[in-house]
Amino acid sequence: MATTEKAPGNAPDKASPRDRLLDAAAELFYRDGVSIGVEALCKAAGVSKRSMYQLFTSKDEVLAASLDRRSAAYAEQLLPGPQDDGTPRERVLGLFERLEKASTEPGYQGCPFLAALVELKDLGHPASVVAQQAKQHLQDWLRAQAEAGGAREPELLARQLMLVFDGASARSGARIESLAGLTTVTVTSLMDAAGVA
């Protein structure tokens, strides 16, 4: 949820209606799914429907904007920063270690971008386009690490690692599987087979 900050003169400065809508959308869509209604979204955000439609043309646009806004923070949570040292192999394993750790958090329900793609089933939907871009960004990063690590077939390895990432996210998000040590062992085997040093 949005935080309230003190403005100069100690008067509370509330988040803008747009920010409140995006915060509520990120929380509700992740927790309850994309079928949440406009009324529930507006109520959670403390924004009238009229205001929502002045800011966005549709609920679909709100969903897309909330996913887009979330993508940078999600990547920052999982991917190592540019100053992080380590071999490509260590960087990839670090990603999956962070995924394992994130999956133990109480509110974890899997990858929000994968969830949107699965629920929407329409690759042309504005939110699907944003989700596909986020997933492609991760796959491109994995391919770059595979290339730098000397993988024989970096594109294939990146696709295999995405399958592990998405499968692990979905299974742990649904509380079917605990990831503790499982993904890192699987990823290690894949990187060994691909010749990543």
Q: Which of 63, 64, 101, 96 is nearest to 166 (CA)?
A: 96
Copy the structure tokens of residue 95.
């990603």
pTM of the predicted model as reported, rounded to 2 decimal places: 0.86
Q: Give which of 179, 178, 146 is closest to 161, Cα–Cα.
A: 146
Please name the residues in contact with 159: beta carbons below 8 A apart, sequence gap of 6 or more: 139
Segment 92-105 shows an average pLDDT of 94
Whether the per-residue pLDDT at 6 is higher than 60: the answer is no
Output the pLDDT for position 83: 67
8 Å CB contact between 27 and 1: yes
| pLDDT value at residue 9 | 40
Tell me the pLDDT tens digit for each residue of 137-185: 999 999 999 999 999 999 999 999 999 999 999 999 999 988 988 999 9
Q: Which of 121, 117, 104, 86 is nearest to 168 (CA)?
A: 104
Q: Above 70 in pLDDT, residue 109?
A: yes
pLDDT digits (tens, 9 = 90+) for 42-96: 999 999 999 999 999 999 999 999 999 999 888 888 888 766 779 999 999 999 9
Sketch out the chain's domains with CATH numbers.
1-56 (1.10.10.60), 60-194 (1.10.357.10)
Confidence of residue 3 (pLDDT cuts 50, 70, 90): very low
